[in-house]
Amino acid sequence: MEYEVEVQFEPVFELVCSIHTFICKKSNKKMDLGASWSADVAGRLSPELLSALDETDLGNDWKLLNLLIHQCPVKESVDQVLEWLQHLPVGEMYETLAEYVSVFPVQMDQFRSRMHFLLSEWNRQYFRDCSPEISGRLRQHADERSLELDKSAVSDFVNRTTNGFYFLPVDGLRKLVLIPQFHFQPANIIYSFGPLTICHYAARVSVTDEEISPFMYRTLRSLGEKSRLKILQSLGGGRRTFTEIAKQAGISKGIVHDHIFSLRCAGLLNAYIEGENVTAYSLRLEGIHRMNEQLFEFLK
């Protein structure tokens, strides 16, 4: 492992992640919060903010916003970041981003104003009324993982923390920042900026008291399909690309994609990542063992 790893958390990270989740509302049926969450939130938002969110895609501008927030020098509170962004001179924005990217928004001042509006209004109309328990548990999770990092082999630590990711040291990668997130569970969000990769990973935390762990239940449900079992069996021999998995499964790539998403979110697959792309998968025996442990513990 040739790169440095850090675990970070500040509430502004979850603010941005929650917006990301809402923009992806067509896929919310795959998220733990479900489609009902986005429908409920939409009912609280002003027409102006809803329109702005509908016009926002998760392309390069959104990726640059995540980099910009990561580079903010003081981000202990959401208000600090919003004030910094609002008054950040265009020249300093270029300097802040130039170390990692070469493509910038055509009108940087308009980009800053648009993103400041989205963040500040989303914060006012939704995020600041979220349960403080969300940020509290994410903060605790990040602190615990940081302590474990000092005692662990880095590659194994990253795999356990992200529930199955291996980030391959390519494209000059020098630093991997892991940020726990709640809203977009069970999926992860990855941004690659050459020497820097930021991964907002599903922290597998819950703020509700449920008799049956949603994470154990997801894993068990992921096995309730013959094609998924065959995919797991085919990966027992080592790494395979998506194309190889689809060819052996003999079903459409779209269905294979859904199966792999379910198995990966359940922690049953290792995903090998170069930049922002998954290049191969393998069977994750640790996930199988963990599923058995959780089930035995529940049945005692």
Residue 1, pLDDT score = 56
* Banded model confidence at residue 218, pLDDT cuts 50, 70, 90: confident
Mean pLDDT along residues 143-158: 88
Cα-Cα-Cα-Cα dihedral sign, residues 148, 149, 152, 156: positive
Alpha-helical (H) ranges within the chain are 11-23, 34-42, 47-54, 60-71, 78-87, 90-98, 108-125, 132-149, 154-162, 214-222, 226-234, 242-249, 253-265, 285-299
pLDDT tens for each residue of 284-300: 998 888 888 888 888 87
Residue 34, pLDDT score = 86
pLDDT tens for each residue of 102-131: 888 889 999 999 999 999 999 999 999 998
Beta strand 277-283 pairing with 175-181:
unpaired
Beta strand 175-181 pairing with 196-202:
parallel
Count of CB atoms situated within 10 Å of the CB of 16: 26
d(CA 228, CA 287): 15
pLDDT tens for each residue of 196-217: 999 999 999 887 777 777 788 8
> pTM of the full predicted structure?
0.93
Count of CB atoms situated within 10 Å of the CB of 111: 18
For the cut 80, the answer to whether the pLDDT of residue 8 exceeds it is yes
